[in-house]
């Protein structure tokens, strides 16, 4: 009887696990890596993720302050996204949108940049970007606090 009960319970547990997982067609990809060329489409391009981590942004950036803002909050050890730019961008906007107060660290050609409140509580970095590979972290103010976000990337300088 015990053997049959274990098999029945095991089958029920497996059935429950299978039902609890989202179907591939309904899932939204997060933590995507992106390669862009000037005049890319669609514009804006959006990528999603969860902010936060246990590493101080200052440690990831290698400094406490950058020309684009202070390095505050906490991020993951590994970048949330990798952005590869195949050419020079005279103008590129990378802006985070979240219901929570998030922070941004970008490390790439020429150094590292941080931002806190570019628009309200949302960080962003806008300006000229060199070609190359950029590592992007989106963080939270408190360690190990995770919030969903969307990054909008655009090379259109018009509002």
pLDDT at 156 over 50: yes
Q: What is the pLDDT, as a whole number, of residue 45? A: 97
**Farthest CA pair distance, the chain:** 73
Q: What is the DSSP letter of 27?
A: P
Q: Are strands 74-75 and 55-56 parallel, antiparallel or unpaired?
A: antiparallel
pLDDT at 67 over 90: yes
CA–CA distances in Å: residue 133 to residues 26, 109, 117, 153:
30, 7, 24, 15
Beta pairing partners, 34:
83
Structure tokens given for 2 = 């015990």
Confidence of residue 159 (pLDDT cuts 50, 70, 90): low
Spatial distance between the Cα atoms of 159 and 151, rounded to a whole number of angstroms = 16
Q: What is the pLDDT, as a whole number, of residue 19? A: 37
Per CATH, which fold does 28-154 belong to? Jelly Rolls (2.60.120)
Spatial distance between the Cα atoms of 103 and 139, rounded to a whole number of angstroms = 5
More confident residue, 15 or 61: 61
């Amino acid at each position: 009887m015990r053997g049959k009960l274990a098999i029945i319970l095991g089958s029920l547990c497996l059935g429950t696990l299978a039902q609890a997982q989202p179907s591939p067609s309904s899932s939204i990809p997060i933590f995507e890596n992106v390669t862009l060329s000037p005049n890319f489409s669609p514009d804006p391009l959006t990528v999603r993720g969860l902010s936060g981590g246990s590493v101080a942004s200052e440690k990831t950036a290698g400094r406490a302050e950058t020309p684009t803002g202070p390095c505050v909050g906490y991020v993951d050890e590994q970048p949330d996204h990798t952005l590869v730019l195949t050419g020079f961008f005279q103008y590129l906007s990378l802006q985070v949108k979240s219901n929570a107060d998030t922070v941004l660290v970008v490390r790439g050609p020429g150094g590292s940049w941080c931002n806190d409140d570019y628009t309200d509580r949302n960080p962003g970095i806008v300006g000229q970007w060199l070609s190359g590979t950029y590592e992007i972290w989106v963080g939270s103010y408190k360690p190990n606090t995770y919030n969903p976000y969307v990054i909008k990337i655009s090379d259109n300088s018009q509002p």
